[in-house]
Chain A
Amino acid sequence: MRMKTRTQISFVAVTLIALSHFLAADAPPRQIDLNRFPATKLDDVVVPLPSEVFNVLDKLGTPDWRGEMRSPNISSRGARAQIALLLGSVVAEGFVAVEAADKERVKAIGRDVLELARAIGVEKTVLSRTNAIVTNADDGDWIGVRRELDGALSDVKSAMIQLRDDQLAHLVSLGGWLRGTEVLTSIVGKSYSPDGADLLNQPDLLKYFQERLAGMPPRLRNNQLVGKIQRSLNEISPLISQKITPASIKRIHEITSDMVKAINSNA
């Protein structure tokens, strides 16, 4: 009986040792040395969707979303670079309108997205998305509206890449990031908290946008609006590469507000 028990204990012990070795063989290292990065990095970074940011903003209490809403001036559009920036910022505006649960504004934004997409030659790509935005807004399906806004942004960028207009696709992303950051700094600035400020810890994303702008062909780099944005990003960069204070939030808000106004101003 005792022999049997010993055998059972030995069997369990051996099994556990074997299992731990097996698990250890496949277990990832707890720490990697980033100076000797073990993996090849992809050239691009993943630009988060607006809904990823607004998902977090949902958890920051109940800001005055109606007070954050702006009316995009899409009739002011000029060159394709401005349209691309405007398109990104209008999609971000759509998320603000969703947070404010403003059906009419969301529907108007859906129509604006379609008009801007038409102006840039990718109307067909977003037609079903913009129709769905209007329908979902009518139904009060805010999750559906968010999904379609994200989808419209992705579809427009993909269509631009397909048309070999990658540079404009980057500007769409940048326009969305600028308007999103303007809203984020407004909300966090009104009720500062370390957790809220932490949302601005996006140095690699900012660096990515700076590199994309720096790598643009002269025809785009020499565009007055693009040049202004490039200088502004250079000003934001040191502010988010250190501890983010109420003063730096205020300054980032001023810079991004200024840029969003420039995107919406007459070309």
Chain B
Amino acid sequence: MLKARFVRRLIIAVSLLVLAGKSSASVDDAIARAMEAISPYVKQGYLVRDDQWGGDLGVKQEQAITHTLFKGNDYWFCTGTDNESAKISIHVYDSRGRLVETDSWQHGRFAGAHLVAPATGTYYVIVEILSSPAERTHWAMVYGYK
């Protein structure tokens, strides 16, 4: 069983060389979907970081990404999966375990969460595969800020 893992843009590129074609395409596709999810916010002035995080998860499995956010910065975190029938969610919690997002949405294989960081510190961005016809579903997360 593949273990969910941290990936970055060029690690993914390297992985493409060693993984089977279908699997690589899935990772790439998840990244493309995450970028699709965040694209409306680019038009609103958010700078999208040129790095991605992701891996693969089973249904009802969650993955947390630890992130230092800065007070007053405005963030959108968006995620997408390679499986068009999957359902994914993304939410943001602070270092005391409180849900801190001010807005979130979920549309099938896409999801997003928004917050203006109320304090500088550690936050947890939690991604969950809510449902999927596949045993493992590739996902990717990107974020933008302004």
Contacts and interface: CB of A to CB of B under 8 A. Distances in A.
B79 to A, nearest CB: 13
Contacts, number: 127
Contact of A158 (B10, B95, B146): B10
B70 A161 contact: no
A167 interface: no
Contact of B97 (A34, A44, A45): A34
A40 B62 contact: yes
Interface residues of B, number: 49
B19 interface: no
A32 B66 CA distance: 15
Contacts of A34: 95-97
A28 B91 contact: yes
B120 A45 contact: no
Nearest to A158: B10
A40 B56 CA distance: 12
Contacts of B43: none
Given A39-B63, A201-B120, A48 B68 contact: yes
A34 B121 CA distance: 15
A147 B45 CA distance: 13
Give the size category of A's interface with B: 35 or more
B50 interface: yes
Contact of B47 (A46, A147, A161): A147
B20 interface: no
Interface in A13-34: 26, 28-34
B68 A45 contact: yes
A200 B126 contact: no
A56 interface: yes
B53 A42 contact: yes
Q: Which of B5, B72, B106 has the most CB of A within 10 A?
A: B72
Interface string B112-124: 0000000111101
A203 interface: yes
B50 A154 contact: yes
A55 B71 contact: no
Interface string A62-94: 000000000000000000000000000000000
A104 interface: no
B11 interface: yes
Interface string A50-63: 01110110010000
Interface of B: 4-6, 8-11, 13-14, 47, 49-51, 53, 55, 61-73, 89, 91, 93, 95-99, 104, 106, 119-122, 124, 126-128, 130, 145-146
Interface of A: 26, 28-34, 37-49, 51-53, 55-56, 59, 147, 150-151, 154, 158-159, 161-162, 195, 198-205
